[in-house]
Amino acid sequence: MFVENNLFSIKSSKREQFISITEDINNLVLRSGAEVGVVKIFIPHTTAAVTINQNANPDVIKDIQTILASSIKGHRLLNAEGNSDSHFKSSLFGVSLEIPIERRKMILGEWQGVFFCEFDGPRTRKVHVQVWGHQEKR
């Protein structure tokens, strides 16, 4: 069993943005040499998150953003910085994921992808990735 730690930066270009990081994570898993294990993804920010969702139709992400925006409208928020909605969305989605690895790849459904969720951009953010795994015994 071994652990490999990785860190990469991601730059958003809008206040709210879902950015696919599936390929980035799969590349880190592949480079680690883990054939079986788990990959842990952690976002160390209070106004960003990480999630798994449908990655084939971009309208799904647009619909999620529309529903989030409409659920916040009309609420009197107290945070003077003006980004309470971003903190709420980060807590709603969560800042970490664990995904099983098999055959040197994340186990994801056919239409699933991993998304970095920016809720208070544009910014440059950090993504921490740990690969816990081993090579299969032959």
- What are the residue ranges spanned by the domains of the chain? 2-48+55-73+82-134
How would residue 79 be classed by pLDDT, with cut points 50, 70 and 90?
A: low
Q: How far apart are CA 116 and CA 119, in angstroms?
A: 10
Neighbours of 82 (CB within 10 A): 9
Give the pTM. Answer: 0.91
Helix/strand/coil for 46: coil
**24-65 pLDDT per residue, tens:** 999 999 999 999 999 999 999 999 999 999 999 999 999 999
Kindly report the average pLDDT of the chain as a whole number: 92
Which fold would CATH assign to domain 2-48+55-73+82-134?
Jelly Rolls (2.60.120)
* Measured CA distances, 44 to 30, 59, 63, 101, 116 (Å): 24, 28, 26, 23, 12
Share of the chain above pLDDT 70, in %: 93
